[in-house]
Amino acid sequence: MDKRDPLAPHKFAKPIILAEVTYTHFKLRDPTIDDMFTAELEAARTGGGTHTPLQFNGHMMVLQMDEVSNEKGDSFKGPFTMSMLKKWGPRNYGAIREVQLEIDKLGEADSSEQSQD
């Protein structure tokens, strides 16, 4: 992954198609505590939870997904679902997960800065 802002748009590993429109980029937002609770509950409904990281992180992805876009200026701002994510393939899951981890690192830096006050 490049060293750009993790909250900026990033390129999918492989373009996705939604409603016959091809999208090449995605943008995630900072997660909230509510997102974490919701992802845990949604994963638990399908037999998972925080102990099933693929499911939990997948639910977090669809909650954090802010927008998908392309170079033509088309964009889709959701809602995003697990059934969509499942069709995007493992390479895109990996690309999104990489950005999630970068966003998490930013949050950890913010937390350590606040705890020193």
In a domain, 117, yes or no: no
Cβ proximity of 26 and 77 under 8 Å: no
Q: Using the CB atoms, write b or e for 12-35: b if 16+ within 10 Å.
A: bbeebeeeeeebbbbbbeebeeeb
3-state secondary structure of 47: coil
Q: How many structural domains compose the chain?
A: 1
Q: pLDDT band for 1, please (50, 70, 90 cuts).
A: very low
The mean pLDDT value for 103-108 works out to 82
At a CB cut-off of 8 Å and minimum separation 6, what does 114 contact?
Answer: none
Domain span at residue 57 reads: 10-105
In a domain, 116, yes or no: no
Residue 6 pLDDT exceeds 60: yes
Q: pLDDT band for 3, please (50, 70, 90 cuts).
A: low
In a domain, 57, yes or no: yes
Give tens-digit pLDDT for 9-20.
999 999 999 999
In a domain, 32, yes or no: yes
The mean pLDDT value for 63-75 works out to 97
CA-atom Rg of the chain in angstroms: 15
pTM, 2 dp? 0.84
Report phi then psi at 19, rounded to 5. Answer: 50, 45
The Cα–Cα gap between 44 and 13 comes to: 28
In a domain, 91, yes or no: yes
In a domain, 90, yes or no: yes
In a domain, 86, yes or no: yes
Give tens-digit pLDDT for 50-68.
788 899 999 999 999 999 9
In a domain, 60, yes or no: yes
Q: pLDDT band for 8, please (50, 70, 90 cuts).
A: very high
